[in-house]
Amino acid sequence: MTETATPSTTAPVTPAGGVAAAPLVAGSALALSGTVAVVVARGGQVPPGGAEAAAEAGGRVLVVGSGAAEAAEALHQVAGGPASEVWWADTGPGLRAGALAASLTPPLAGADLVVLPASADGRDLAPRLAARLDVPLLAGAVAVGLTEDGQARAELSRVDGRLLVTAMCAAPAVATLLPGARSVHDAAAPAAAPPAEVAVGGAVQPTRTPDVGEPAATPGPVAVTLPDAPVGVVDVEVVEVLEPDPATMDLGEAPRVLGGGAGLVARAGGLGGVPPEAAFELLAGVAAALGASAGATRVVTDAGWMGYDRQIGTTGIALDPELYIAFGVSGASQHTGGLGAPRHLVSVNTDPSCPMTAMADLGLVTDAGALLVELARRLGVPVPAGAAGAVAVPEPRGESADG
């Protein structure tokens, strides 16, 4: 599926399944202060880490991009968090990071801390926004907030997640938050953050903290209009937006993932007689045939059998897919901690009591390598030389003549 991107002014959209957001008074301007998240949506979908960025910002988020209304409603309706104050502006399909950064500068000029998810679009927009605002950029954080003395403090992940570096700078600042770094629930504004304020049409309106026992007011998402980017901004020209190739797309954004662990290349298994690199190439081939992406555990990437950009876990890529199939993955906490909450989880392992099988919706107690070989043969994926015979899989049964 492709969509042609042409510059246009988008009218407020009614969120799917929700009530139309109330636009601000004509001619009024949005000016945010305190801590706020900026989330770039595509086709109404919240990017990986978008909910976490909103939670880290105390539930205050500005959603931009295509389908921003639907994405804003999705963020607002997450049970227990993460977004209590939501603004949205539909900026059309395709990301024009330069123009968007310029348009976001006036509303965010008074913000003390701007948090973006470290998704593909977030990483593209954040440095441009920091440059426009002329503030420091704290990239790749696992935690970020404001201190009592008004400084921005971030714990930055470095060396493939093996090292945390504490960075501090005078506020204001822009930061990117790694997906999977924090919970999206029980969002609360940073303890030392100044009271959040919103200026509409020049009038500053501080956000009131509810009294003890009083339910917090959570109005629905509000449509806003961003100022036009100044003439002469150097930017890309979006011709069309193409669906990503599952084999090469950002693993954190993949809806279906096949993961492989050390058990996939067990010596006594169906792939024990082939080089490990070839076994994981087979995993990638089967994943591509199923329209899925391939990933691996840290043991596999440390051994060099797959690249670190395919590592799943708290020190790798955080996932939240629709479907995750684990081949020979025991389920170490470092790995499962980066899985998020897959809608469907399947474990293929010879150990019926391993953590991965225990947490799976469906556990197949069999050799992962042999089952992968059988899948490859049925899907027409070339099987490497030396692969052992596959496991016996029952053929599907049709209906009997009498129904």
DSSP 311: B
Q: Which amino acid is at 216?
A: A
Strand-strand pairing, 111-117 and 85-90: unpaired
Q: Which residues pair with 156 in a beta bridge?
A: 141, 165
Instruction: For residues 174 and 131, give the distance between their C-alpha atoms in angstroms, rounded to a whole number.
Output: 10
Least Cα distance to 390 among 229, 253, 271 occurs for 271
pLDDT digits (tens, 9 = 90+) for 267-279: 888 998 899 999 9
Q: What residues contact 5, with CB distance under 8 A and at least 6 apart?
A: 92, 93, 94, 238, 239, 240, 241
Instruction: For residues 179 and 122, give the distance between their C-alpha atoms in angstroms, rounded to a whole number.
Output: 11
Q: For 230-330, where are the alpha helices, taking DSSP H only?
A: 276-289, 298-302
CB 291 within 8 A of CB 246: yes
Least Cα distance to 198 among 37, 27, 32, 24 occurs for 32
In which element (H, E) is residue 99 found?
helix 97-108
Per-residue pLDDT at 207 exceeds 90: no
Q: Which amino acid is at 332?
A: A
Q: What residues contact 392, with CB distance under 8 A and at least 6 apart?
A: none
Q: Which residues pair with 58 in a beta bridge?
A: none
Task: Calculate the alpha carbon distances from 66 to 39, 71, 82, 149, 309 in Å.
Answer: 11, 9, 21, 38, 27
pLDDT digits (tens, 9 = 90+) for 133-144: 999 999 999 999
pLDDT digits (tens, 9 = 90+) for 308-331: 989 998 888 888 889 999 999 999
Per-residue model confidence (pLDDT) at position 29:
72
CB 37 within 8 A of CB 77: no
Residue 386 has phi, psi (to 5 degrees) of 100, -5
pLDDT digits (tens, 9 = 90+) for 336-354: 988 877 889 999 999 999 9
**Greatest extent of the chain over all pairs of C-alpha atoms, in Å:** 79
In which element (H, E) is residue 257 found?
strand 256-260
Mean pLDDT is highest, among 53-57, 134-138, 157-161, 341-345, for 134-138
Per-residue pLDDT at 164 exceeds 60: yes
Quote helix, strand, coil % in the chain, to nearest 5. 25, 25, 50
Instruction: For residues 126 and 104, give the distance between their C-alpha atoms in angstroms, rounded to a whole number.
Output: 11
The share of the chain scoring above pLDDT 70, in percent, equals 78
78: pLDDT confidence band, cut at 50, 70 and 90? low
**Long-range contacts of 232-238, Cβ-Cβ distance < 8 Å, separation of 24 or more:** 233/98, 233/99, 233/102, 234/98, 235/96, 235/97, 235/98, 235/99, 236/96, 236/97, 236/98, 238/5, 238/93, 238/94, 238/95, 238/96
185: pLDDT confidence band, cut at 50, 70 and 90? low
Per-residue pLDDT at 301 exceeds 90: yes
Q: What residues contact 20, with CB distance under 8 A and at least 6 apart?
A: 12, 14
Q: Which amino acid is at 254?
A: A
CA angle 240–241–243, rounded 5-degree value: 140
Q: What is the DSSP string of 341-394?
A: --SEEEEEES-TTSHHHHH-SEEEES-HHHHHHHHHHHHTPPPPTTPPPPPP-P
Q: Which residue has the higher pLDDT, 367 or 188?
A: 367
Q: What residues contact 203, with CB distance under 8 A and at least 6 apart?
A: none
pTM over 0.85: no
